[in-house]
Chain A
Amino acid sequence: MVGREDVRGAEVTVQSLSRIYPHPCRTVALQEITLTVRPGEWLAIVGPSGSGKTTLANILGLMDRPSSGRYWLDGRDVTALSDRERALVRNRLLGFVYQSFHLIPTLTARENVELPLVYRGVPRRRRRELAEAWLCRLGLEGRLHHRPFELSGGQQQRVALARALIGSPRLLLADEPTGNLDEENARDMRRLFSELRDQGQTIILITHDWALAQSADRIARLEAGRLVGDMAGRTGYAR
């Protein structure tokens, strides 16, 4: 991924974060999570199914609100922002990659990638240039006008990654990005995340993929909504 200027990664801090689902029966999905991710750090979150990983990612991605606790993004308290302000933060500061890609099926690869810039009011021509540049960097130069169903899973996930990165986010969130990919595509993803981290991107990655988790700077483990372990990844850094 050549040619990307250095990124100023965000600092993420959460304190005593809890999330209780009242329906269909009261479930404590997250309990008193306290966590700091330093600028430019790659944190992997692992844990068994149902431990609250996706719930945490959705709260960190400002897609959901915690039941209690505080959340600071780059020192700014984003816990109590209005819906409108949260949309703005998602648009300007966050990039999100999901296990099931979440591409819009009626849009082409390039149009999907452009989407964050549409809501930023960037002129069409500039958007196209950026989207094409990102798709090319991710090896999809021949797939600009394909629709998602005309792409393989690995290609779809790279389109989704391009969409997450086109707005130069300060924090990249990924929820099982390799969950639907084969070994080879998963390895590509791993390489891409390493490059992003090397450029200074703050990354929070949720995964079952142990090899992927090990590439991170740090691995946190969730169990039944609690943070039970926080250890160094391959780079050897730990708190």
Chain B
Amino acid sequence: MRVDDILVEAARPLWRHKLRSLLSVLSIVMGVASVIALMTLMQAASQGVGRRLDALGANLVAVTVNPLAASTGGTPTLTLPQALSLAKIPGVAGVAPAAYAAIPAERAGREAPVTVYATWPTFTRIMGYHVAIGRNLSMRDESASAALVVLGSAAAQALFPHDGHPIGRTVVIGGEPYRVTGVLAPKGSLFGVNEDAVAILPLTTYQRAADNGSVTSVYVQAQNPARIRPLMRELADKLGQWLGPQNQYTVVAQSLVLGVVHRISRLLTDILAGVASISIVVGGLGILNVHLMAVAERIREIGVRKSVGARRCDILVQFLAEAVLIAGIGGVIGTGLGVALSQAIGQRLGLSVVVNLRIVEDALVISLLLGVAVGLYPALRAAALAPVEALTFDR
């Protein structure tokens, strides 16, 4: 049999039984589309986490004195010289000593919940903030204990809702007035913490106001993200010398936390892909049933074809081609639909969706293999029929 004849013979029954073919094609379309959409969306989501990781600074290590341990009194907290000495550890690119408190910022009867960081000017760079308007704090502000503040974008929005230019205006934090010198660009939220609801003050200014010379955190920038684990160990050793038992402090690398999130989202992708694959398998079983019926209906036709010289392989190829054609058409339409769906849903969820050609390729290959898998058994049965028996078969 010639290839063009095989295709014509495969397409003919599809055209004849339009509804049946449509349903078969649809079940493949659904399976393939859902796999592609799920895979693409999950990939977009986990890439989002990955990008966030880079934006945060893959090389940030936060050293924090355990606030409960600190408040039980016995152990002294970190001092500024101790915090600054961490910068001398090899592999450290910079440090920002900080104290923080969750106290509201107020202005003209408005109140904004903010996290107050009292810290050095290096803080913004280490944390990956960018100053949108005005200027960052400087070391001169620090040494002068200037009453200045840099607001996160959400804090600025809450305190100056109708006024686009808060620079030079005054806000009240913990009962003290501070003049706004800068507003940060939005950064987004991470793990539900809004990183734009912040107010950044000079460390000395805050320490004087709070009458407390201690430092609760040190934000450390590593030179090399790949060397973050040994660096964390060294930091922990130092803190252990100063503060004693382990539960007095924590050393956290944001990249490692995000890495776990990243892995979890990858695992989720795999689970969802498995679920979607089941829908493909279910569709395949439906088509298997349709093919078995189609063969049963056409036993006499098979007998006629054999009587005029069709070989076993001719019959096999004819029925197999029919199944592969259905699966192929379903695969192509399903791929298109899956891509369209993932774009549409991605847009609604605010994910930037890039369609991965590997996923498309895999979906097409899988749907063709499925066609072979479900077509093979009915086709083999059709081909194996003895000529006379097929010809005289009585339904």
Contact = CB atoms under 8 A, between A and B. Distances in A.
B202 to A, nearest CB: 87
Interface in B5-45: 5, 12-13, 16
A102 B1 contact: no
B163 interface: no
B59 to A, nearest CB: 69
Contacts of B312: 83-84, 87
A106 B311 CA distance: 20
A61 B309 contact: no
B235 interface: no
Nearest to B13: A106
A58 B392 CA distance: 11
Interface string B300-333: 1101111111111010000000000000000000
Interface residues of A, number: 27
A115 B13 contact: no
Interface residues of B, number: 24
Contacts of A106: 12-13, 16, 301
A124 B5 CA distance: 8
A84 B311 contact: yes
Interface string B41-60: 00000000000000000000
A238 interface: no
Interface stretch (A7-15, A89-97, A195-203, A220-228): A89-97
Contacts of A231: none
Contacts of B307: 61, 63, 90, 96, 102
A186 interface: no
Given A84-B311, A87-B310, A163-B308, A104 B301 contact: yes
Given A88-B309, A106-B12, A118 B1 contact: yes
A87 B388 contact: no
B308 A116 contact: yes
Interface string A118-149: 11110110000000000000000000000000
Interface of B: 1-2, 4-5, 12-13, 16, 300-301, 303-312, 314, 386-388, 391
